[in-house]
Amino acid sequence: MGRGSEGTLRAVRSETVVRPGRILALVCAAAFMGVLDLAIVNVALPSIQRDLAVGQGSLQWVVIAYGLTFGGFLLLGGRLADLVGRRRVFVTGLTVFALASLACGLASTLTWLVAARGLQGLGAALTAPSGLSILTTTFPEGAARNRALGVWGAVAGSGATAGVIAGGLLASGPGWPWIFLINVPIGLGLVVVALAIVPEGGRGAARQGLDAAGAVTATAGLALLVYGVSRTIDHGWLDPAATIPLVASAALAVAFVMIELRSPSPLVPLAIFRRRSLAAANVLAALLFGSFAPLSFLATLYMQQVLGYSPLRAGISFLAMSLSSLVASAVAGARLVGRFGAARTLVAGFSLLALGVSSLSRLPVDGSYQDLLPTFLLAGLGLGTCVVPVQVAAFTGVGQRQAGLASGLVSTAQQVGGAVGVAVIATVAAARTSSLLAGATLPVSVPAALVEGFRWAAVAEAAIAATGALLALFLLSRVPTPLAAPRGSGSATDQRTPWTEFDGRSHAR
């Protein structure tokens, strides 16, 4: 048998039959696990604080450590998916996440838990962009992809619903370590499924090599940005503990741009930002999660520290927000984006989110769940309405060889926006609370001071969401949203994009 025949046989044996429905289910399951983990941790924070004897100022690191590595490595994870294979990076990320979850569940000190959470973030940074790029390269641009993204968003929202309930049950029952241990069998099971049904793909650019200098500066710069902002909560914006990492992050950002301009195979070909829809999607993704992520943090503290809710009751209380987000995501993906376009859908979603978080500015000290319900319903509808059009805008006209890069960029924007949003909003709330407790002429109770801090934070959140609505109208109003792939084409990308594959050199056809 000749070499050509042997090569053909090997190709046939190694070829995986692409089944879009199964791949969609796999990617959705991975997204479900990631959102589940985030929601579970938020609900269990008071239990972790009590059992590990963690101070209020240190508690945030259970959340920030994850965001630090997740946000820092997302861009690299997305590009690696293009260079070494989407399935390979996806499976590696799932494995790291599962093993890190085991380490979290076994943690007996805050240092151990924070380090393991950092590893979890690394695993998620490999899984999220590679999974999303698998999804977008499986479904052609247009109606099919929009529907798939709608399902993906709805399932991710259901992960939040399951997470808050499971978090309350586990924290109140067997204990908070089980909020992490539950990820171990799920993650390893997904690894087995991914190896069986996902084709490798995404290695067309492997011969270009990895831009090591760009990867180091981008990862370090993003991590220092999240770290510096988080330090402002305890030290203030002008303290060296915050300003030094922030200045270092800015310096690394400048170095990164210079490296990318000169690199023959850049980590991020800067010409990709000439695509207006992708650039706008990154800005809007950061604003979306920067205004939404702090809501879960503040609402959890309000329910458990002011209203005296148990972890289980606090978890169940988030059901309204999670379910409304799930419904809105499914509707936005299937109908709203195709009918009204990404810009109008985003304006509506951001407006709902702004109305929802602004209602927190009237929280009473002796409140009840009825005071939170309007916030949860409106904010959930707003988030669900925005998630799908942000993803649609990010991937419109992007070729398969840059799917991982586009996914890494928008995922980075989401995660960094959320991490920075939590840090900034927590700073606003903590500053107002500390000011009342330290400077009041008349005694002020701790719950009253906490609630006043939450009110100020709500105003800041609403301002971020309102900015998102305005920018969506301005940045995306002239960007058409694809409704369906052209007939006779497996992908609309090759037909619709006015740019060639972004390789850092030639861009216009």
Residue 107: CB partners within 8 Å, gap ≥ 6?
A: 52, 113, 116, 177
Extents of the domains making up the chain: 19-210+267-481, 211-266
19-210+267-481: which CATH number, 2.30.30.40, 1.20.1250.20, 1.10.150.240, 1.10.150.120? Answer: 1.20.1250.20
Asked if 374 contacts 500 with a C-beta cutoff of 8 angstroms, the reply is no
- The pLDDT of residue 483: 45
pTM above 0.85, yes or no: no
Residue among 137, 145, 40 at smallest CA distance from 87: 137
Q: What is the pLDDT along the chain (509 residues), one digit of tens a residue?
A: 444 444 443 443 444 556 788 888 888 888 888 777 776 787 777 778 877 877 766 777 787 788 778 777 887 888 888 788 888 999 999 999 999 999 998 888 888 998 999 899 899 889 988 888 888 788 877 777 777 877 777 777 667 667 767 776 777 677 788 888 888 998 999 999 999 888 866 554 444 566 778 888 888 888 888 778 777 766 777 788 888 988 999 999 999 899 888 888 787 888 778 788 888 888 999 999 899 888 888 888 888 888 888 767 877 788 888 888 888 887 876 678 878 888 889 999 999 999 999 988 888 888 888 889 999 999 999 988 998 888 888 877 766 677 777 777 887 888 788 878 887 888 888 878 888 877 655 567 888 888 888 889 899 999 999 999 999 988 887 665 554 433 333 333 333 333 333 333 333 33
**DSSP state letters, 433-499:** HHHHHHH-SS---HHHHHHHHHHHHHHHHHHHHHHHHHHHHHHHTTSPPP-SPPTT-S-SHHHH-SB
Residue 65 burial class via C-beta count within 10 angstroms: exposed 0-12, middle 13-18, buried 19 and up: buried
With contact defined as beta carbons under 8 Å apart, do 7 and 137 qualify? no
CA distances from 407 to 136, 427, 444 (A): 9, 30, 48
The two structure tokens encoding residue 385? 């309405």
pLDDT at 379: 92
Q: What pLDDT does 18 receive?
A: 64
CB atoms within 10 A of CB 145: 26
